[in-house]
A and B are shown apart, each in its own frame.
Chain A
Amino acid sequence: MADASIKKNSDIFVVSPEKLRRQRAAKFIGEGFLLAIASFVAVVVLFIFYFVAVDAVPFFQERGFAEFFTSTGWYPADDPGEFGALAIIYGSAMVTIGSALIAVPLGIAAAICLSDVLPFTVRQYAKPVIEMLAAIPSVAYGFFALVIFAPLLQNFGGTILMWAWWLIAGPFVLLAVIVIADVLAARVATESKERSLRTVLTLLFGIAAIGVLYGVGRTLSAIEILSGTNALNVSIILSFMALPTIVSVSEDSLQAVGRELREGSYALGATRAETIVKTILPAASSGILAAVILGIMRALGETMVVWMASGNSSQIPDPWFNYLESIRTLTATIAGDMGEADQVTGSARYHVLFAMGLLLLIFSFISNFISERIVVRQRKILAGE
């Protein structure tokens, strides 16, 4: 009995060639299995590219590139149909840039605030709030944009624009006045006169600035928005959706900047603002750039909000920067037109939507590639390699 158990246990340590082979085989098979599963993602990526491209190529074969990229005539239901996607691509670019203009400054400011300004206890609660913002499904944002925000814009558009201008631009303009007066006074006057000159300059510039603020505000309040479902509405809502990405990735890269840089800057007598602007931001700039690219991609790839709230009219607004007109985007076109396209036989209309999908896919691939390179490079620089 005892002998048997000893013998059985000692088997573990005595490695016969046959057992060794079996162990190696098991190890090989096991690791191969794990590798196969891990490669699954790569296979999926290749499949996505392949299957989207396969259905997109017939369109370009049949129609060439020129019409798709240069014409604004989008009449897919006609026979033979017109498939000019220029206005649609332009619409996508418009809402992407619009949301970036709102989300990037706000996001970077919030990231700086989270990483360097707020005490830890506040940060603990602020982070989940931002995560919540990211968790709300896009269709809920779309519903909000369509049912709640669009009527608001339509009825009180001018007033909303005016207050937004006063509240956002106001403090910045006044701050600029103080700084400009300070710099000018320091340059022009001798030390004894400087203080009084600065006061005078500040007052003068201040009055001028308030005039400008008020004038622009009045002009904005006179604007009438004919339709609430427009590029502005979509840009604002998309910026909500891009913000969490921008904030969390930027914050990570700000946190990655080492303590010694901050402490060195403080030791030289810089204020916190100067430390952040002149030391930390440059060090983290590439990471922030990556965050911005990722955030922009979220806005470009978003479907439901643009579909529900953009108005879906395939035209280039007049003038070209008019954010108060309806537009149409790539994603919304794919989502909206596929229902009418013949999905079985594969008409030109079916294939053109895959061409748009391919375009989006290529954009996302390139921007992802760039942002990844940037992050890798920053990590290396910060590690001192």
Chain B
Amino acid sequence: MELGTRKILDRSFTAVGVTSIVLMALALLVVIVPIFRGGIAALYFDGTIEHRKLQYDQFGKGDPDELSVQIAETDRHRSEAYRFLDAFEREMEGMDAETAGNYRPGFRKVKEILTHLLGPLPGEQEPILLRFQYGRTRWEKAEETLHDLLFVTKWDYSNPSEMAKEYFVPRSDEFAGTALAGLFPYVEDNLRNMLLPEPTFYWGFITNKSLDAHIFGGIWAEIQGTFFLAVGAMLFAFPLGVIAAIYFTEYAKDNFFTSMLRSANSTLAGVPSIVFGLFGLAFFINTIKVSESKSVLAGSLTLAIMILPTIIRAAEEAILSVPKTYKEASLGLGSTKWRTIMTVILPAALPGIITGGIISLGRAAGETAPIIFTAAVSVGATIGIADVFTSPTPALSWNIYNLASEHEAANEIRHVQYGMVLALISIVLLLNLSAILLRARISKKLKG
């Protein structure tokens, strides 16, 4: 091969390597950036008067005087819209039965959309479900609903070889020449006055409980459940892992039995997470019955055996990285092996062990599969510390799945899903980041 070609090959080889690294960084960005953007929208958005009403009614937050002033103002603009409805209803009474019957389904639809937008119409009885008691709490949702009000969605099936295409027809065409025709431009022009959107930082998203299956409210129950599960898992796994690591590094002899134990460790690390869930169900719940059915305790135990190998490995590495001279000095001064381990090696290895622990904590917080059968419920209240032995809990990871795939209004509450994912990712990445920083400090310290 010619030297020039060899050089080109060499350069392109470097390029491939660098590209692959860049691609991985890009993959990280591609995943994180949209989730971050969507998640911020759960916390910071244009909240409407309905949002403030809800906050005041359900959580007692907000200034009642200012709220009543604003409600009076919106009512003034809303009454105008309702007047169009009344006028049309009176007009319908004057029509013959057939024409009125033709208008009726369309009119019912208009009323329904208006209820979505502004809350129950005057004179209607208060609905029981919370989701029907309020109008749009978020401005961008209100704009979507306004589009629904102004346009009828139709599908074009004319080309049989392609998928049907969506197109929109103005709804006002349907009511041209009637008293209702004026409603559409009026609502379009006055929506802001009817809903009074204001930029809102909704901290309550993190600290409030969820209302009406996450259609309103926050995610406190999930955050708390995640905390219980992850910390519970650490309580079991951390001491066991550190003791096992001490045995492996300081006491284990190099024989068949030890190598068997080590392979058991790596086998456990390779077991698919869903199998831990099966095991937790079969052993903790069905066999030894740590609780009647799903519970935080069963979930924590399952998570604990899942993160145990990681903790053992991290602790082993931390203990092995303690300089040998420390140990020799301690033994040389006449202390016993056990005392050396407890007073010299462990304190020196502790930051490293804690780093491993923090990473495992993040992993336990993020895992879903092991807690599906052992600890997680889709919608639930916050539980007290005393309930952890008997009752299951909602958890961030499981509820992300549940809201995105199984919730009846999955498309309506995207912002809640994004907010949950952001909360989970922030928890896990913050834990990891602190571990990385801690590790950097330790390696600097050990270098001197």
Neighbouring B residues of A55 by C-beta, 8 Å: 278, 282
Scoring B9, B12, B21, B35 by chain A CB atoms within 10 A of each residue's CB, the highest score goes to: B21
Q: Is the CB of B362 within 8 A of A140?
A: no
The answer to whether the Cβ of A343 comes within 8 Å of any Cβ in the partner chain is yes
Given contacts A143-B421, A361-B272, whether A34 and B401 have CB atoms under 8 Å apart is no
The answer to whether the Cβ of B110 comes within 8 Å of any Cβ in the partner chain is no
Given contacts A137-B428, A147-B417, whether A331 and B369 have CB atoms under 8 Å apart is yes
Q: Is the CB of B244 within 8 A of A138?
A: no
The answer to whether the Cβ of B67 comes within 8 Å of any Cβ in the partner chain is no
Interface of A is mostly: helix
Neighbouring A residues of B272 by C-beta, 8 Å: 297, 300-303, 331, 360-361, 364
- Return the contact of B271 from the options A40, A109, A137, A364 (Cβ within 8 A): A364
Neighbouring A residues of B428 by C-beta, 8 Å: 135-137
- Expressed in whole angstroms, the minimum distance between the Cβ of A129 and any Cβ of chain B is 5
- Expressed in whole angstroms, the minimum distance between the Cβ of B412 and any Cβ of chain A is 13
Residue of chain A at shortest CB distance from B12: A175
The answer to whether the Cβ of A335 comes within 8 Å of any Cβ in the partner chain is yes
Complex Cα distance, B32 from A301, in Å, reads 23
Q: Is the CB of A38 within 8 A of B432?
A: no
* Stretch binding the partner chain, chosen from B113-121, B261-269, B322-330: B261-269
The answer to whether the Cβ of B445 comes within 8 Å of any Cβ in the partner chain is no
The answer to whether the Cβ of A1 comes within 8 Å of any Cβ in the partner chain is no
Complex Cα distance, B13 from A276, in Å, reads 10
Return the CB mask of A302-338 against B: 1 if under 8 Å, else 0: 1110011000000000000000000000010011001
Complex Cα distance, B432 from A128, in Å, reads 9
Given contacts A136-B428, A140-B35, A143-B417, whether A272 and B14 have CB atoms under 8 Å apart is yes
The answer to whether the Cβ of A279 comes within 8 Å of any Cβ in the partner chain is no
Q: Is the CB of A146 within 8 A of B21?
A: no
- Expressed in whole angstroms, the minimum distance between the Cβ of B418 and any Cβ of chain A is 8
The answer to whether the Cβ of A157 comes within 8 Å of any Cβ in the partner chain is no
Q: Is the CB of B266 within 8 A of A372?
A: yes
- Return the contact of A331 from the options B25, B31, B274 (Cβ within 8 A): B274
Given contacts A301-B273, A368-B267, whether A144 and B401 have CB atoms under 8 Å apart is no
Q: Is the CB of A48 within 8 A of B271?
A: yes
Scoring B246, B248, B275, B428 by chain A CB atoms within 10 A of each residue's CB, the highest score goes to: B275
Given contacts A54-B282, A112-B17, A130-B24, whether A364 and B5 have CB atoms under 8 Å apart is no
Complex Cα distance, B272 from A277, in Å, reads 33
- Tier of interface size on chain B: 35 or more
- Return the contact of B275 from the options A52, A143, A147, A308 (Cβ within 8 A): A52
Scoring A47, A143, A186, A301 by chain B CB atoms within 10 A of each residue's CB, the highest score goes to: A143
Neighbouring A residues of B8 by C-beta, 8 Å: 175, 178
The answer to whether the Cβ of B424 comes within 8 Å of any Cβ in the partner chain is yes
Complex Cα distance, B306 from A313, in Å, reads 29
Q: Is the CB of B401 within 8 A of A357?
A: no
The answer to whether the Cβ of A203 comes within 8 Å of any Cβ in the partner chain is no
The answer to whether the Cβ of A11 comes within 8 Å of any Cβ in the partner chain is no
The answer to whether the Cβ of A183 comes within 8 Å of any Cβ in the partner chain is yes
- Expressed in whole angstroms, the minimum distance between the Cβ of A146 and any Cβ of chain B is 6
Complex Cα distance, B278 from A302, in Å, reads 14
The answer to whether the Cβ of B95 comes within 8 Å of any Cβ in the partner chain is no
The answer to whether the Cβ of B100 comes within 8 Å of any Cβ in the partner chain is no
The answer to whether the Cβ of A374 comes within 8 Å of any Cβ in the partner chain is no
Q: Is the CB of A353 within 8 A of B278?
A: yes
Q: Is the CB of B17 within 8 A of A303?
A: no
Return the CB mask of A109-148 against B: 1 if under 8 Å, else 0: 1101110011000000010111111011111111110111
Q: Is the CB of A303 within 8 A of B274?
A: yes
Neighbouring B residues of A258 by C-beta, 8 Å: none
Q: Is the CB of B270 within 8 A of A360?
A: no
Q: Is the CB of B7 within 8 A of A271?
A: yes
- Expressed in whole angstroms, the minimum distance between the Cβ of A145 and any Cβ of chain B is 10
The answer to whether the Cβ of A265 comes within 8 Å of any Cβ in the partner chain is no
Complex Cα distance, B17 from A272, in Å, reads 12
Neighbouring B residues of A52 by C-beta, 8 Å: 275, 278-279, 282
The answer to whether the Cβ of B247 comes within 8 Å of any Cβ in the partner chain is yes
The answer to whether the Cβ of A75 comes within 8 Å of any Cβ in the partner chain is no
Complex Cα distance, B11 from A271, in Å, reads 10
- Return the contact of B405 from the options A37, A51, A146, A179 (Cβ within 8 A): A146
The answer to whether the Cβ of A41 comes within 8 Å of any Cβ in the partner chain is yes
Q: Is the CB of B268 within 8 A of A45?
A: yes
Complex Cα distance, B23 from A171, in Å, reads 15
- Return the contact of B281 from the options A40, A303, A338 (Cβ within 8 A): A338
The answer to whether the Cβ of A381 comes within 8 Å of any Cβ in the partner chain is no
- Expressed in whole angstroms, the minimum distance between the Cβ of A272 and any Cβ of chain B is 6
The answer to whether the Cβ of A367 comes within 8 Å of any Cβ in the partner chain is yes
Neighbouring A residues of B163 by C-beta, 8 Å: 224, 226
- Expressed in whole angstroms, the minimum distance between the Cβ of B260 and any Cβ of chain A is 7
The answer to whether the Cβ of A28 comes within 8 Å of any Cβ in the partner chain is no
Q: Is the CB of A47 within 8 A of B279?
A: yes
Could you tell me which residues of chain B, from 121 to 138, have a CB within 8 Å of some CB in chain A?
none
- Expressed in whole angstroms, the minimum distance between the Cβ of B62 and any Cβ of chain A is 32
Return the CB mask of B430-445 against A: 1 if under 8 Å, else 0: 0010001000000000
Q: Is the CB of A132 within 8 A of B28?
A: yes
Could you tell me which residues of chain B, from 349 to 368, have a CB within 8 Å of some CB in chain A?
359, 362-363, 365-368
Residue of chain B at shortest CB distance from A45: B264
The answer to whether the Cβ of A263 comes within 8 Å of any Cβ in the partner chain is no
The answer to whether the Cβ of A354 comes within 8 Å of any Cβ in the partner chain is yes
Q: Is the CB of B373 within 8 A of A42?
A: no
Residue of chain A at shortest CB distance from B369: A303
Residue of chain A at shortest CB distance from B258: A38
Complex Cα distance, B368 from A244, in Å, reads 20
- Return the contact of A335 from the options B20, B261, B274 (Cβ within 8 A): B274
Neighbouring A residues of B247 by C-beta, 8 Å: 34-35, 37-38
Q: Is the CB of B243 within 8 A of A38?
A: yes
The answer to whether the Cβ of A106 comes within 8 Å of any Cβ in the partner chain is yes
- Return the contact of B366 from the options A38, A54, A139 (Cβ within 8 A): A139
- Return the contact of A132 from the options B2, B282, B432 (Cβ within 8 A): B432
The answer to whether the Cβ of A39 comes within 8 Å of any Cβ in the partner chain is yes
A-B contact pairs, 7 of them (CB 8 A): A41-B261, A129-B28, A131-B432, A135-B428, A140-B366, A143-B401, A271-B7
- Minimum-distance CB pairs A-B, first 4: A301-B272, A137-B366, A113-B17, A273-B13
Known: A118-B18, A274-B6, A301-B270. 6 other contacts (CB 8 A): A131-B436, A137-B425, A140-B400, A183-B1, A186-B1, A357-B274
